[in-house]
Chains A and B, each alone.
Chain A
């Protein structure tokens, strides 16, 4: 049984691995261990996967050109994750927009720093990076402000779908034998030297080994299960503004700022869905779940976006959102096995998690092998193909039998919505449906389709759109 629903009793089986959390790292972890032959169970406290740090990011597949130095966990995982995504995306029907990035220097001081970034890129194995002058920048990106001084071009930086990718990872895990329990929150547990007993809001689970992929709650899960944590989550909020699809033509590449010590700064980039994204802010906060937006910050982002790309003035804002990144007090990831306790913590996976997830999973699996564990991989693993919802490429509205378009802004069909609701890994919430199909994510934000979506999702998601039927 791939997924235990609310009415199902939890399994009493002894799992090889219980993965805590179904953010992008948990999904990639479940996939890697399942494809290697382990019997995996994923538990998720929310009604849907990707409900924490992974639900909001810039969706860039990073090369790692500005990652911490070789030898760091982040660098290794980024390179490996980047490479594996490129290897597997087509088989899983995942999009990849190979648009490249320009690190933009807006003054001489920033231009001087490009050299250092170029050296870093080469040191990090990103050999295609090169410096280009203002004339070439403007020839390639005629829409950018004339005040650009120079840029560092990173051809390999790409844009992906931040939700379909982890969805595909988890789906592949489930279709090859992994299990999932949602709305299942860890409340305690212990290791008796042989096996783990995990106490959850849904009941008791058993595992040989536990991998903590709890993201924003990683340090708390550490403390709950092994009594201590070697890091502390310092939530960092990033707000984003999404511009209308009409703005997409203004820009081909990802525009990155010259980074500071704290953050990569404000990025202007295309999305895989055909919008332009401006963000993020970087705001330290105590709350791990307060992803509220702030009008002043959004206005500031918009102003910055318009300085970089003046023609943005003519375009409307489609959406604004915030994500919370599980940064810690450390610069590097905190990936660590606790051999005495058959426990691994994958913590402090900050803004690069989407790019690095597959690499993180591969690293953790190698460390698992190093500890003497062995499994036999399935002979012929299945490769599910997820729905294509990216802007470029064939979409369901072009195909017969689509049931008609429900969301006109994003061209989402009734069949796509039904398939998402009826299929494996069905959404547990309205946001989950939006992430899987894009319904309601467009410029009208549900002006036209809310009523239809309400009807289609009735009894299928929680909470429901309607509080009452008349």
Chain B
């Protein structure tokens, strides 16, 4: 078995991994190896053929593929070594990983290993939808790869399940390919994306059915119809030839689940501290595997910020945490948050670099209004009024590391308004 070494191994060449690797290289760190399991780097934007991408990074609207190419070109220009077709199959203690390429398996050791494996949508099976299992049932990701990368149509008249941002991306993808969705449905009373998005299906001739859930799928070889159930209890059958299960993103953290790293059961990604460090501090994580789902631009920015702390740790400015506290969730209305660990100040009083995570990123179970607060017993460390939509990011500023010195336990609470 081949074995090699590098300084930093970044797993996953989507927006966060590309940004992180580029930034490390730009900071003069050599030996940055970016591993991508697909044949082409770029991640999910590779197959989002529509705008807008790149506003934050390149200050102009780009299509997903154009944006992905630009990120890859930047990484290569900075001197990142990119290996595509390299699938990491195992990560372990001692900064070692196993990967598979067309040449078989090899092992790799690195001083730091960064997990940027992103997220994916929840498939039909995990949603436990009744009915038969014909062809024509897929997620937006698969639809987009089929339409934009392979120029293939899996159906002509699907139903889109969900109304998150990605659901509208599915709608635009359909439009691009000449697919005419018969309906977009959501079990809630309002669309999950921004409210104004509700106009889009109407403009494109697709019915938007809110308060409506998918009760069963029918069909032999291919999807033939779906039974929809509205909140008032009425059910009806709608002819269609496909189902797009959009959104309900989950962390792609299979590597973490089979590793020594501690997992955040709520968010599904690895536990990290403010510096992006995992429970094994030789590992870092960033991007959508921590917080499914945010935009490519947000992940890109997080990748750049996390690179600063990786760089600090490589040159000795970020020592191991002597002590850290796990933030406890004090309300069942909070779905998950990241970072979940707070590194505490060092006993010798030495300064730490500024962490990349200066805010908690939170998602609520559903639409929620009220006050979020981070407490150490009676002491409020941070607090904020929120009006949050489901699936949307909520931010709560974290106190400075120095101010955590006396903390015994930290709880994230939510009090509904």
Contacts and interface: CB of A to CB of B under 8 A. Distances in A.
B152 A470 contact: yes
26 contacts: A290-B132, A291-B132, A293-B128, A293-B130, A293-B131, A293-B133, A295-B128, A302-B128, A316-B126, A319-B125, A397-B100, A404-B39, A404-B101, A444-B252, A445-B125, A447-B121, A447-B142, A448-B38, A448-B141, A450-B138, A450-B154, A463-B135, A465-B135, A466-B146, A470-B147, A470-B178
Contacts of B37: 405, 408
Nearest to A301: B128
Given A320-B128, A321-B133, A411-B89, A448 B120 contact: yes
Contacts of B177: 470
A246 interface: yes
Contacts of A465: 135, 146, 152, 154
Contacts of B85: 404
A330 interface: no
Contacts of A450: 138, 142, 145-146, 154
A455 B154 CA distance: 12
B221 interface: yes
Contacts of A444: 120, 123, 252
A414 to B, nearest CB: 8
A451 B103 contact: no
A409 interface: yes
Contact of A447 (B123, B152, B216): B123
Given A402-B104, A445-B125, A451 B145 contact: yes
Interface string B137-171: 01101100111011111111000000000000000
Contacts of A321: 133
A468 B152 CA distance: 6
Contact of B153 (A403, A463, A468): A468
Interface residues of B, number: 53
A316 B265 CA distance: 11
A193 interface: no
A78 B153 CA distance: 47
B146 A451 contact: yes
Contacts of A411: 87, 89, 100
Which secondary structure characterizes the binding site on chain B?
mixed
Query: Quick one: which of A290, A401, A402 has the most chain B CB within 10 A?
Result: A402
B240 to A, nearest CB: 13
A465 B145 CA distance: 13
Nearest to B130: A295
Contacts, number: 150
Contacts of A454: 146, 150, 152, 154
A293 B146 CA distance: 27
A299 B127 CA distance: 10
A393 interface: no
B130 A397 contact: no
Interface of B: 37-39, 47, 85, 87, 89, 100-105, 120-121, 123-126, 128-133, 135, 138-139, 141-142, 145-147, 149-156, 177-178, 216, 221-222, 241, 250, 252, 254, 257-258, 265
Contacts of B101: 404
Nearest first, the 7 closest Cβ-Cβ pairs linking A and B are: A451-B145, A445-B123, A466-B152, A450-B142, A246-B257, A400-B104, A468-B153
A402 B102 contact: yes
Contact of B102 (A320, A404, A470): A404
A115 B119 CA distance: 50
For chain A, give the interface size range.
Answer: 35 or more
A303 to B, nearest CB: 12
B130 A466 contact: no
A420 interface: no
Given A292-B216, A452-B150, 9 more contacts: A245-B257, A290-B132, A293-B133, A402-B100, A408-B87, A450-B138, A451-B142, A463-B221, A467-B154
A321 B250 CA distance: 22
B128 A317 contact: yes
Nearest to A244: B257
Query: Quick one: which of B100, B131, B138 has the most chain A CB within 10 A?
Result: B100
Given A295-B129, A447-B120, A467 B156 contact: yes
Contacts of A443: 254
A93 interface: no
Contacts of A455: 150, 152
A443 to B, nearest CB: 7
A249 to B, nearest CB: 9
Given A446-B138, A450-B145, A317 B125 contact: yes
Interface in A395-447: 397-405, 408-409, 411, 430, 443-447
B104 A399 contact: yes
Contacts of B146: 450-451, 454, 465-466
A448 B12 CA distance: 14
A119 interface: no
Given A319-B125, A447-B123, A398 B104 contact: yes
Contacts of B121: 447
Contact of A397 (B89, B128, B258): B89
B265 A314 contact: yes
A127 interface: no
A95 B130 CA distance: 32
A469 interface: yes
Contacts of B126: 316-318, 445
Nearest to B242: A467
Interface string A285-300: 0000011111110110
A201 to B, nearest CB: 17
B139 to A, nearest CB: 5
Contacts of B258: 245-246
A320 B142 CA distance: 19
Interface in A292-332: 292-296, 298-299, 302, 314, 316-321
A155 B129 CA distance: 37
B125 A467 contact: no
Contacts of A291: 132-133
A293 B126 CA distance: 12
A467 to B, nearest CB: 6
A451 B152 contact: yes
A398 B152 contact: no
B152 A316 contact: no
A242 B250 CA distance: 18
Contacts of B102: 400-404
Nearest to B257: A246
Contacts of B216: 292
A469 B130 contact: no
A234 B169 CA distance: 46
Given A404-B85, A443-B254, A447-B142, A470 B120 contact: no
Query: Quick one: which of B125, B154, B221, B258 has the most chain A CB within 10 A?
Result: B125
Contacts of A295: 128-130
B148 to A, nearest CB: 9
Contacts of B39: 404
B136 to A, nearest CB: 8
Contacts of B138: 446-447, 450
A398 B105 contact: yes
A146 B155 CA distance: 49
Nearest to A294: B130
Contacts of B135: 430, 463, 465
